[in-house]
Amino acid sequence: MIAAISGTKKFLSLVKFSHTIFALPFAIIGFMLGTAASEQPFSLKLFGLMLLCMVFARSAAMGFNRYIDREFDARNARTAIREIPAGVISPTAALVFVIISSVLFIATTWFINPLCFYLSPVALLVVLGYSYTKRFTWLCHVVLGIGLSLAPIGAYLAVTGVFNLLPLLFSFTVLFWVSGFDIIYSLQDEEFDSANNLYSIPAFLGKKNALLASRFLHLASISFVIAAGIIGHFGFIYWIGAAFFLSMLIYQHSLVKPTDLSRVNLAFATTNGVASVVFGCFVVADILLRGNI
């Protein structure tokens, strides 16, 4: 039992399970929008399947990223302590974990609806393919954003089986939000990326201009938050959440300077985690109280 718990902790650390909090609230938003739009009663079973899809897809993506990048991670002082280069988890075990997570993701979509099942390989292609992008394009941050942006529209499809503009607006919110904060996170590896022929916006533009690009992406993100609020006819509760989300974006940019990266982790993990959870709570509360679709 102790060995099993220890092994589980190792794999949870491998995939940074705590970072699931970034996209999860947006998946719940998509699910609740779908429930409201279809006028169906809340399905705990379907909600559970949606959560499992989130966990399996993200576990596959993160595990694959760690597997593919293991040699680069070993050469980078910041990442050498990760599970694979540190010898805590073998590359073979990590790859098996990725395969199992991928199979479980596809299998779970089978129990949701045919459309989600048919689209599941496409979703996997996006989230797994991200791991290769840093080898050939500085737009890798945007690809990561696309991967996480599947959460709200995917959850909406799980309930309704059809596409709709409103959940897509939340997907674009996630796309530009994640792309922006991933640039901030990657500031730490500007020199390493440049020295090892890896592509990133900081390596391409430098720290100062990379931060400007991140701000532009976050401005685009909040624009979609506003568009979703207007098109979705949300009430004041939504706009309180939107204001908080905006304040968190502004705050994280105040934490990081081109010459001072000491608070990158606070800006990346804590600030964005709080922003996502609080915004998600306000949006869901508005949906439940007003019946927005």
The answer to pTM > 0.85 is yes
Q: Which residues of the chain have pLDDT under 70?
A: 1-19, 291-293
In this prediction, residue 267 carries a pLDDT of 78
In whole angstroms, give the CA distance from residue 21 to residue 213.
24
What pLDDT score does 172 carry?
98
Length of the chain: 293
Q: Give me the pLDDT at residue 11, please.
A: 64
The confidence score (pLDDT) of residue 10 equals: 63
| Six-digit token string for 112 | 């949701």
**The one-letter amino acid at 27:** A
Q: Among 58, 21, 23, which residue's Cα sits nearest to residue 155?
A: 23
Single-letter code of the amino acid located at 133: T
- Inter-residue contact 142 to 183 (CB < 8 Å): no
> What is residue 19's predicted lDDT score, i.e. its pLDDT?
60
pLDDT at 21: 81
Residue by residue, what is the 3-state secondary structure of 67-112?
HHCHHHHHHCCCCCCCCCCCCCCCHHHHHHHHHHHHHHHHHHHHCC
> How confident is the model at residue 39, as a pLDDT?
81
C-alpha to C-alpha distance for 130 and 64, rounded to whole angstroms: 10
User: Which tokens hold the place of 227?
Assistant: 């568009």
Q: Which distant-in-sequence residues (6+ apart) come within 8 Å of 258 by Cβ?
A: 206, 207, 208, 211
Domain CATH for 230: 1.10.357.140
Q: List the structure tokens of 221.
A: 């993100």
The structural domain count of the chain equals 1
Q: Compute the CA torsion angle 46, 44, 19, 137 (nearest 10 deg).
A: 20
Q: Positive or negative, the Cα torsion across 69, 105, 56, 252?
A: positive
How far, in Å, are 25, 48, 175, 196, 214 from residue 36 at the CA level?
16, 17, 24, 49, 34
Domain hosting residue 60, numbered range: 2-290
Q: Helix 44-68 vs helix 91-110: angle between axes, to the nearest 10 degrees?
A: 150
**Distances 3 to 6, 9, 48, 88, 91 between C-alpha atoms, Å:** 5, 10, 28, 13, 19
